[in-house]
Amino acid sequence: MDLDGAEVDRAVILKRCAAPVQNSLERCEVLVLEEKPMELKFNKPKELFELNFHYGYWNPSGIPQH
């Protein structure tokens, strides 16, 4: 959900196209796998929310860079 309480598509949150060119395959995506889990932590006394995740980057040709 966004700040207004409306539902947001998962792909909009976890994936971003890096280039405004429509034919470009350049993008970043959040990677959530069994060996690379997403972690959510909340420290109540400090009122601190922590989000840890891995991400992937694909260049304009669609080749993964790491």
pTM of the complete model beyond 0.85: no
The structural domains of the chain, with segments of one domain joined by +, span: 10-58
> What local confidence, expressed as pLDDT, does residue 1 receive?
57
Please report, for residues 9, 52, 53, 57, the alpha-carbon distance to residue 42 in angstroms, rounded to integers and kept in the order given: 24, 12, 15, 28
E strand map for 2-65: 15-17, 27-31, 39-43, 48-52, 54-58
Beta carbons within 10 angstroms of residue 57's beta carbon: 13
How far is the C-alpha of 13 from the C-alpha of 22, rounded, in Å?
19
Please report, for residues 18, 22, 59, the alpha-carbon distance to residue 30 in angstroms, rounded to integers and kept in the order given: 14, 21, 15
> What local confidence, expressed as pLDDT, does residue 48 receive?
92
pLDDT per position as a tens digit, 8-39: 777 777 777 766 666 778 888 888 889 999 99
> What local confidence, expressed as pLDDT, does residue 41 receive?
94
Q: What percent of the chain has pLDDT over 90?
A: 26
